[in-house]
Amino acid sequence: MAEGAGSIPRWVAPPAPEGARPRMTPMVSNTLTDKKVEFVPKDGNTVRWYICGPTVYDSSHLGHARTYVAFDVIRRILESFFGYDIFCVMNVTDVDDKIILRARRNYLLKQYRDGAPALAQVIADGSAELAQAQVKFEAKKTALEAKIAAETRSGQKKGLEEELHGLVYKHRLVEAQGAALAAAQAGEITDASALLDKVGDLIASKLDGEKGAGVRDQEIFRGHAAYYEQEYLEDMKALGVRPPDVMTRVTEFMPEIVKYIETIIANGFAYATTSGDVYFDIRAFQKEHAYRKLSYAAATTAEQLAEGEGALSTGDGKKHENDFALWKASKPGEPAWDSPWGGGRPGWHIECSVRTPSAE
């Protein structure tokens, strides 16, 4: 078994490069050792900094502001106080299940609205989807409550409880739309367009289930991502956050991503399924390496796993529950790129892994 297999590997501080000028040395938290260590750049005074960019499926929120303002402050301190030369690269996730679903639903909802449906039609469509959403919520809630009651490990129990809290919180948004439908049925809302403004998510979900597979124009997805990418950049500019030196997008590096996945398969750490998906084989990797080096003590919850895999994933052909998708076979209504496994797109976990030529 290779060094570190099945246990936390030993961390060794990198040597200071020759010719590096003396300075006050910043300290950084090392999650592998759970201690603070000296910050030692690989290339003398140059710091190559990669920042994971946003998944551009909707408008930025307070969490984006907190994240990127914090990055900007640290970047400025490293440059202005410590004197490092920072080369900053950011990658924008512009293909993802959230983007696909939101783009498709927005497109179908616009078509629905342009058709000027009557108030009665909006009420009927919204109520039908509300009933389905309620059934799904109750089933998920009951299953989670049963898992919490049966779980004996405190860490896993806490994760499940947080997942339940999130489920209940999100369902409140559905309940608010249900209240709007009830108000319309009571005659308190008499304008179809006004009701659509309040129950658009329910209508869009219903339309997507009925017509989503027929959305085939890839520009619908690309245009959606481009719109929110530009909105994000404008928000960051308004906050005074400096732009990265280089900004890349996932869709610009599909051949490199495919080649990278092929290498992982060749190394024995991933497998393709008959459905055209490719999964990272965690157990095979753990035979030779320590897994989760950056958060070794953490436990993956079902919510976190589902968030990474995406709402459009099927999980068909997985060898183990926690294996995650590197490549996802695209179904009708989803954008696709060519690969040895068929038309598909990268999984969320691989989208920031390929070293791009622009970052050299």
pLDDT digits (tens, 9 = 90+) for 230-252: 999 999 999 999 999 999 999 99
25-39, 148-162, 295-309, 339-353 — which one is most confidently predicted on average?
A: 339-353
CATH number of the domain within which 257 lies: 3.40.50.620
- Number of neighbours of residue 169 by Cβ within 10 angstroms: 9
DSSP annotation string for 154-194 = HHHHHHHHHHHHHHHHHHHHHHHHHHHHHHHHTTS---HHH
pLDDT score at 153: 84
Enter the DSSP assignment of 289: S
Q: Are strands 324-329 and 278-280 parallel, antiparallel or unpaired?
A: antiparallel
* Cβ-contact 215, 107 below 8 angstroms: yes
Q: Is residue 79 part of a domain?
A: no
pLDDT score at 359: 41
Q: Are strands 85-93 and 46-55 parallel, antiparallel or unpaired?
A: parallel
Q: Is residue 78 part of a domain?
A: no
Q: Is residue 309 part of a domain?
A: yes
Q: Which residues contact 4 (CB under 8 A, 6 or more apart)?
A: 10, 289, 290
Q: Which residues contact 172 (CB under 8 A, 6 or more apart)?
A: none
Q: Are strands 278-280 and 246-249 parallel, antiparallel or unpaired?
A: unpaired
Positive or negative torsion for Cα 197, 201, 205, 206:
negative
Choose one of 198, 217, 236: the last residue of a domain.
217
Question: Of 120-129, 180-189, 283-292, 330-339, which range is least confident?
Answer: 283-292
Enter the DSSP assignment of 275: T
Q: Is residue 204 part of a domain?
A: yes
Euclidean distance between CA atoms 242 and 176, whole angstroms: 38
- Number of neighbours of residue 110 by Cβ within 10 angstroms: 11
Number of domains into which the chain is organized: 2
Q: Identify whether residues 196 and 269 lie together within a single domain.
A: no
Copy the structure tokens of residue 299.
């436990």
Look up the domain containing 203 and give its range: 115-217
Model-wide pTM > 0.95: no
Residue 302: pLDDT over 80: no
Nearest 5°: CA angle at 346, between 342 and 351? 155
Q: Is residue 108 part of a domain?
A: no
Buried b (16+ CB within 10 A) or exposed e, 89-99: bbbbbbbbbbb
Q: Is residue 243 part of a domain?
A: no
Q: Identify whether residues 267 and 328 lie together within a single domain.
A: yes
Residue 316: pLDDT over 70: yes
Choose one of 217, 238, 264: the last residue of a domain.
217
Residue 63: pLDDT over 70: yes
pLDDT score at 154: 83
